Structure 1
Amino acid sequence: MKKFIVIIISIILIITGCSKSEQININNGERPLVYVSFYPMYFLADEIGGDNIELRNVTPNGVDSHHYEPSMSQLKDIEKAQVFIYNGSGFESWVNKLLGNMINEDITINASDSVDLIMQDGRPDSHIWLNPSNMIKIGEKIKEKFISLDRENKEEYEENFEELSNKLKELDDRFITELEERKHNSIIVSHAAFAYMAQRYEIEQIPVTGISHEQEPTPGTIADIIELVEDENHKYIFLETLASPKTVEVIAKEANLKTLTLNPIEGLTKKEQENNEDYISIMEKNLENLKKALVE
């Protein structure tokens, strides 16, 4: 697949003559074309940019964003963008092949540059968006980028960012306040995706697998978790959306655990889209499930 993407990029570069993204004429009413790599970045750009930008998401909702590879038509279209926002820290394997070739690095926002990264398994954990404070920091960079392109709508970008920032601060405060009187300090999760959430709210995550949800737990790991459940009186194990529940369900059955969802918010499911869910509402549901496991 990596070789295929390299070939596609080479073909497109020949077709386009290696052209860089053209600057648009904002004064003629043309909206900046903004591409984002996956849902959390889409949420921020949409909240801040509103109707003043033309926003497109590379990764379709309902698809595992870890391994999604853009199509040829997407690659050609990304080259036209005035802003390209991606998560970084190794989350999107395809991005590095585009930077400096199809995508002028001057138009990019690498969200991971705005936050303090947590190292796991000898590499940075890329799930930075699961701390609302990080989302505020990334959102500020997005706001500044939009203003630099479209000063005519500066006030609206600033107002939108302020409103978003307040909502994220309120969300963060709810997590802190409602988890303060907890009876437990650890949660069992399907894979180690929640380090930023755990660090922010002083929770220990006990992962079935490592930072990659494709890893398979060893029999020893499963045995250790079952023993831990018995020693620490855990009642729940957390499943994820957009990931196979098979291993977690096996452990739940063996250890007599109930399952809850802890959503890593890498993309929206069809049902979430139909219900008009977004980052804020899904994080609120995560909080309710954390309270069941830690407080009640």
Structure 2
Amino acid sequence: MVKLKGITKITGLATSASLLFLLSACGSSNDTSTSKSDSSGKINIVAAENFYGEVAKAVGGDRVAVTDILNNPNTDPHDYEPTPDVARRVSMAQMIVYNGVGYDSWMDKLINADSSSKSKTIIKVADNVMGKKEGDNEHIWYNPDTMPKLAKKLAADLAKLDPSHAQTYQKNAQTYIDSLAPLQEKVQKLKQTSGAKIDVSEPVFDYMAKALNLEVNDQKFSLAIDNGTEPSAADFGQLQNDLKGKNIKLFVYNVQNSSPTVDNLLKMAKSSGVPVIKVTETEPKGKTYLQWMNDQLDQVAKGLSIQ
């Protein structure tokens, strides 16, 4: 996985050995009450990514205390190294929500090192909610079905931990799902009747592209960029032809990951008049998930000349 441009690798203050020791110490505590709830009686939830934490807060309401680990868009999710404080929070959590399929494998390590993890509710969104496996496209939050399904999963799991408030969690989940209606409506409005071809710098946007019936025409090239390898001459040549001949409707560009190769293609797209859609892998500061997705879909609407 390539390192994202402009995203900082956050290095923990402890070695792997000290993290293991810390987790072991937390997990062996005789006082298990803090692993279930904080001092106010709220269920402790740790979310690896802030956009998943947003759903947990919406569904849990005032019955939960949610900690987002990755809440800075300049933090590289692939290279993140948890601090002792993060390890402690994970150990003390009753519920953990993270992406899975290798995207945030550091969370797997924390959970595996925690002797109390078997008693926790663990939701790997890509694996448990969306049925993905290692090697599948990891950017599952770009699928417009992911957050509604996650909301329902959270409501069901919170109800198991706190049965007396099951109806509240279900109601909160539906309220959150309803709040995403503008996104679902925009997806349907922009959905192409026949597959329109696009090129992408890497497969960050692919799930949304599929929902819009946009066909990615450079999958081999984008996968090479995503894996940090050099695209083949044939794949690079095909993308150049797509851009120069305007054989595609859009060029989707992840602004957080660039290279001389991608930069040259970006210039080519602009000079050829191919609309460029700028996307990000992490949620922009100050944006909600809905605002983030809507901003990018607005670019698609403009690029496709859809009012």
TM range (shorter): 0.7 to 0.9
TM-score (norm: length of structure 2): 0.79
Q: Deviations over 1:213-239 (max 9, x none)?
A: 362543624332111223344464322
Quick check: 252-261 or 12-21, which moved more?
12-21
Query: 1:131-280 counterparts in 2 under 5 A?
Result: 131-180=143-192, 185-205=196-216, 206=218, 208-210=221-223, 213=226, 215-218=228-231, 220=233, 221-234=235-248, 236-244=250-258, 247-255=261-269, 256=271, 257-264=274-281, 266-268=282-284, 272-273=285-286, 277-280=287-290
Quick check: 52-61 or 80-89, which moved more?
52-61
Structure 1 pair 197–143 and aligned structure 2 pair: CA distance change class (3 A): same
Work out the number of aligned pairs and report it.
284
Q: Which runs of 5+ in 1 are unaligned?
A: none
Q: Distance in 1 between matches of 2:180 and 2:192?
A: 18
Structure 1 pair 90–162 and aligned structure 2 pair: CA distance change class (3 A): same
User: In angstroms, what is the RMSD of aligned CA positions?
Assistant: 3.1
Structure 1 pair 20–226 and aligned structure 2 pair: CA distance change class (3 A): farther
Given that 1:193 and 1:211 are in contact with CA atoms closer than 8 Å, whether structure 2 keeps it comes out as: no
Structure 1 pair 17–169 and aligned structure 2 pair: CA distance change class (3 A): closer
Given that 1:229 and 1:235 are in contact with CA atoms closer than 8 Å, whether structure 2 keeps it comes out as: no
Cα distance, 1:35 vs structure 2: 0.2
Quick check: 24-33 or 123-132, which moved more?
24-33
Structure 1 pair 22–15 and aligned structure 2 pair: CA distance change class (3 A): closer
Cα distance, 1:11 vs structure 2: 2.1
Q: Distance in 2 between matches of 1:169 and 1:109?
A: 24
Q: Deviations over 1:16-65 (max 9, x none)?
A: 46459934577984111110011221121122122321111112322122
Q: Secondary structure at the match of 2:70?
A: coil
Quick check: 38-47 or 213-222, which moved more?
213-222
Structure 1 pair 245–31 and aligned structure 2 pair: CA distance change class (3 A): farther
Identity %: 20
Q: Distance in 2 between matches of 1:12 and 1:38?
A: 22
Q: Distance in 2 between matches of 1:133 and 1:20?
A: 41
Q: Distance in 1 between matches of 2:196 and 2:16?
A: 45
Aligned residue number for residue 294 of structure 1: 304
Instruction: Tell me which amino acid in the other structure corresponds to 1:22.
Output: T
Instruction: Tell me which amino acid in the other structure corresponds to 2:206.
Output: A
Cα distance, 1:138 vs structure 2: 1.5
Aligned residue number for residue 70 of structure 1: 82
Aligned residue number for residue 114 of structure 1: 129
Instruction: Tell me which amino acid in the other structure corresponds to 2:16.
Output: V
Instruction: Tell me which amino acid in the other structure corresponds to 1:109.
Output: I
Q: Distance in 1 between matches of 2:260 and 2:229?
A: 11
Q: Deviations over 1:124-179 (max 9, x none)?
A: 21111111212211111111222222334333322211111123344223212233
Given that 2:275 and 2:303 are in contact with CA atoms closer than 8 Å, whether structure 1 keeps it comes out as: no
Q: Distance in 1 between matches of 2:228 and 2:252?
A: 16
Please tell me whether residue 104 in structure 1 is matched to residue 117 in structure 2: yes
Q: Secondary structure at the match of 2:201?
A: strand
TM-score (norm: length of structure 1): 0.82
Q: Distance in 1 between matches of 2:107 and 2:38?
A: 31
1:88 to 90, 94, 100: 100
Q: Which runs of 5+ in 2 are unaligned?
A: 1-10
Instruction: Tell me which amino acid in the other structure corresponds to 2:263.
Output: E
Given that 1:136 and 1:165 are in contact with CA atoms closer than 8 Å, whether structure 2 keeps it comes out as: yes
Quick check: 255-264 or 52-61, which moved more?
255-264
